[in-house]
């Protein structure tokens, strides 16, 4: 399993790095759109929405994502746009209700998927547009994925105290601490590479917040999977499960960077 995970990373990493390094940010946004589309599909499949409702959710979710990615100057109107999405979701269930029993759960799940995956995914794409967008995207991915990697190995080596046993029995407090050290390490690596565009104090504070929020994203997805009896969100990425399994922590960390790092 570990070899398969490493091989997948070695194959996918060059494409991700190339999309980040190109001066045309549209390349990275296309990667984001692909990943979020896959995540939305996996989410709607996890909650076992009927096919027509799943397709409708995909249309609304991707529309919401495109609004964020390509109309950032209208983000102050996002509450109006989100209200419109809710109206469209409810309108669909009024005119094409399918099975009435359980509709409230499907409505809530559909709306949750659109906002959770579409909104957070859109913010990932917007960060690359900043003047120092390459640094901040590198910072975001490094702190999240170094956290995940070091938490995994620290937990396997030293994990004795469960972090959230009912949701994810394999995660430990020791692994959580190891993950935080990994986030700090990820920050320092890109702090040196990009000639220190943020001071150490604020960088470490931000990395620490991400080290706390990222695992909550991971646990949240584990909760969703456990609630429907699924081990992975899908099988799209060999050794890693589904797309949502790979980006769950990144989705939760993105708003932290987007709202706290804009002034640097």
pLDDT band at residue 10, thresholds of 50, 70 and 90? low
Average pLDDT across the chain, whole number: 88
Strand partners, 162: 172
pLDDT for res 100? 87
- In this predicted structure, the answer to whether residue 32 has a pLDDT above a threshold of 70 is yes
For the chain, what percent of residues have pLDDT higher than 90?
59
pLDDT for res 239? 60
pLDDT tens digits along 121-169: 999 999 999 988 899 999 999 999 999 999 999 999 998 899 999 999 8
pTM confidence score: 0.89
pLDDT for res 174? 95
pLDDT tens digits along 248-261: 999 999 999 998 88
Q: Write the DSSP assignment of the chain as a string of letters.
A: -HHHHHHHHHHHHHHHHHHHHSS-THHHHHHHHHHHHHHHHHHHHHTT--HHHHHHHHHHHHHHHHHHHH-GGGGGGHHHHHHHHHHHHHHHHHHS---STTHHHHHHHHHHHIIIIIIHHHHHHHHTTSTTHHHHHHHHHHHHHHHHHHHHHHHHHH--SEEETTTEEEEEHHHHHHHHHHHHHHHHHHHHHTT-SS-HHHHHHHHHHHHHHHHHHHHHHHHHHHHTT-SSS-SSBTTTBSHHHHHHHHHHHHHHHHHHSTT-
pLDDT for res 73? 75
- Give 172's contacts (C-beta < 8 A, 6+ positions apart): 155, 158, 159, 160, 161, 162, 163
pLDDT for res 24? 83
Domain boundaries, the chain: 26-127, 132-264
pLDDT tens digits along 182-238: 999 999 998 888 876 788 999 999 999 999 999 999 999 999 998 888 888 877 776
pLDDT for res 11? 63
């Amino acid at each position: 399993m570990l070899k398969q995970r490493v091989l997948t990373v070695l194959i996918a990493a060059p494409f991700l790095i190339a999309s980040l390094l190109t001066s045309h940010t549209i390349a990275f946004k296309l990667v984001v759109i692909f990943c979020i589309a896959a995540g939305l599909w996996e989410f709607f499949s996890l909650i076992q929405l009927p096919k027509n409702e799943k397709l409708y959710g995909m249309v609304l979710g991707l529309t919401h994502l495109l609004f964020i990615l390509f109309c950032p100057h209208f983000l102050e109107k996002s509450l109006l746009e989100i209200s419109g999405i809710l109206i469209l979701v409810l309108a669909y269930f009024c005119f094409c209700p399918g099975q009435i029993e359980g509709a409230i759960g499907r409505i809530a799940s559909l709306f949750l998927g659109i906002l959770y995956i579409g909104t957070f995914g859109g913010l990932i794409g917007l960060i690359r547009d900043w003047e120092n967008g390459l640094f901040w995207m590198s910072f975001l991915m490094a702190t999240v994925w170094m956290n995940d990697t070091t938490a995994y190995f620290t937990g396997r080596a030293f994990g004795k105290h469960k972090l959230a046993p009912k949701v994810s029995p394999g995660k430990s407090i020791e692994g959580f601490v190891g993950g935080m050290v990994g986030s700090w390490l990820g920050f320092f690596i890109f702090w040196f590479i990009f000639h220190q565009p943020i001071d150490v104090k604020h960088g470490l504070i931000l990395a620490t917040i991400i080290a706390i929020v990222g695992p909550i994203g991971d646990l949240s997805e584990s909760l969703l999977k456990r609630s429907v009896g699924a081990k992975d969100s899908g099988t799209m990425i060999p050794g890693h499960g589904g797309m949502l399994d790979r980006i769950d922590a990144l989705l939760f960390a993105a708003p932290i960077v987007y709202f706290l790092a804009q002034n640097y």
